[in-house]
Amino acid sequence: MQTHIVPVGFDYDRMIAPLIRDQFDVDRVILLEGTVGSEANVEYSRNIARKLEQDFRNLLGAETVRERLDDVYDYDAAFERAFDLINAELDRNGGGDAAADDGGTGDDAGDGPPDEREVWVNLCSMPRPVSFAFATAAHSIMVERQTDRDRIHTYYTAPEKYLETELAEELRATRDLLRDLDDGSDAEALADAGVDPERVADRLTSTTDLLAEFDERGTTIGAKRIGDSHVIELPVASFQNVKPFEELVLFTLGEHGEFESVSELAETLAAELNEEYTDSFRSKVIYNVDRLGPGGKGYIEREEHGKSYRTSLSRIGRLWVRAHADEDRDVR
């Protein structure tokens, strides 16, 4: 049994056709809709999601749910969402709550035990921050859940053709027709045929301008400002296995933000653990911070500050804390 997590953009065929043609055993689909962009873009994507929801159910017989991504340019939020979704589907009991409530046995539960379910993440559509976030989250979970790595898949499908160039060629043909009408037709004859000559001229101008912009710029225009920058930095590192005491260090940094020195961090940890602050304990903290630092797992940044090192979480460290913040843990 397979769950497919499908971020929905402006593509239809690439989301469903390969699964039908290659006869994938899809029984559950999670469609993620973006809600950022122009009203027309959001509505177009929403219509694609509606059609996919209907066809995944009718053509593949898959349970299909639709969820929203509030900001398709927020890498950190997309990563956290992907991390939670993939883990939840890996742990999902196919029988669901209804079967349990009805007292159903394993045979009646439908999908079988959780270890039979695979999670497939489609990376074809949506803006790049979402695709990168979901791919990195999937890889991070593979690292943390070694026994489940064969149940996690990321995939891409290539289109047979792109419609942008065909639309441009049709637009050129329309422009040429409008030009012929504008240059060679009698205004009275156009009016008699129910065609407004001024409308022809206006459409010719707008079509010519749009094609000129397409030829000069390609399929997009400009660079959108996201937050304080026009550049969205995408972390290249994925998660690594973290030991219990390392978890405590990361969560403490996540809670307090920054420490002026490792000694200050060690004092805080000792207080939270109700342990005596000794040289031995301080050395233990220093050792773990080094393992988590730039020369180790890369979860911690250390900036020289006088005779000490200001200590804080790196970007991937903050992502780790966000992704694991709701987990029950025993780090003592």
Sheet holding 2-8, edge to edge: 63-69, 26-34, 2-8, 118-122, 152-155
Give the 3-state secondary structure of residue 92.
coil
pLDDT of residue 196: 79
Count: domains in the chain = 3
For residue 74, the enclosing domain spans 2-155
Task: Kindly state whether residues 147 and 181 are assigned to the same domain.
Answer: no
The gap from C-alpha 11 to its chain's centroid, in whole angstroms, comes to 16
Digits of tens for pLDDT over the chain (332 positions)? 899 999 998 899 999 999 999 999 999 999 999 877 778 888 888 999 999 999 999 999 999 999 998 888 899 999 999 999 999 999 986 433 333 344 444 444 445 555 589 999 999 888 889 999 999 999 999 988 989 989 999 999 998 888 888 899 999 999 998 888 777 666 666 666 777 778 888 989 999 999 999 899 888 888 888 888 888 887 776 678 899 999 999 999 999 989 999 999 999 999 999 999 999 999 999 999 999 998 888 999 998 888 888 999 999 999 999 989 876 554 44
Residues whose CB is less than 8 angstroms from the CB of residue 112 and which lie 6 or more positions away in sequence, other chains included: 1, 94, 106
Question: Residue 23 region, left (φ>0) first, then alpha (ψ -120 to 50), else beta?
Answer: left
Measured from the Cβ of residue 30, the count of other Cβ atoms closer than 10 Å reads: 19
pTM: 0.77
The DSSP call for residue 107 is G
**Short-list 140, 129, 135, CA closest to 298:** 140
C-alpha count within 13 angstroms, C-beta hemisphere, residue 24:
24
Q: What is the CATH number of the domain that holds 272?
A: 1.10.10.10
Beta strands (DSSP E) in the chain are: 2-8, 26-34, 63-69, 118-122, 152-155, 258-259, 300-305, 308-313
Task: Kindly state whether residues 190 and 249 are assigned to the same domain.
Answer: no
Give the 3-state secondary structure of residue 46.
helix
In a domain, residue 330? The reply is no
